Amino acid sequence: MMIQKIMLLVSRVSDHSALEALYQMVDKYEAVGKTLTIQHLSEECQNLMIKASPRLEKVIEKNIDDPRYHVMVKVNQMN
């Protein structure tokens, strides 16, 4: 079985359209007998993907070199 890798070292998965695109890619690769793995996602992106579709957990390759940035949750308002 051939394994294809997507490296997202300088990218973020941050919205529904990105999740849907990755989900469709996984389906298409599996349909032709190939395995797709996604590398270098931050922990927040990994959690977002797994929450949206637990099936995506199997394609996420966790690594010590994954980026470590945090998604901004709240912006402080200026007085």
Please give the backbone phi and psi of residue 53, each rounded to the nearest 5 degrees, phi first.
Answer: -155, 100
From the list 15, 20, 66, the residue with the least C-alpha distance to 39 is 66
Instruction: Give the pLDDT of residue 44.
Output: 79
Q: Which residues contact 37 (CB under 8 A, 6 or more apart)?
A: 3, 4, 5, 6, 59, 60, 61
Domain boundaries, the chain: 3-61
**What is the pLDDT confidence band of residue 64, given thresholds at 50, 70 and 90?**
low
List, for residues 12-61, the tens digit of each pLDDT value. 777 788 888 888 888 888 898 888 888 877 777 788 888 888 888 888 88
Q: What is the DSSP string of 26-43?
A: HHHHHHTT-EEEEE---H
Radius of gyration of the chain from its Cα atoms, rounded to whole angstroms: 14
Instruction: Give the pLDDT of residue 55.
Output: 84
pTM strictly above 0.75? no
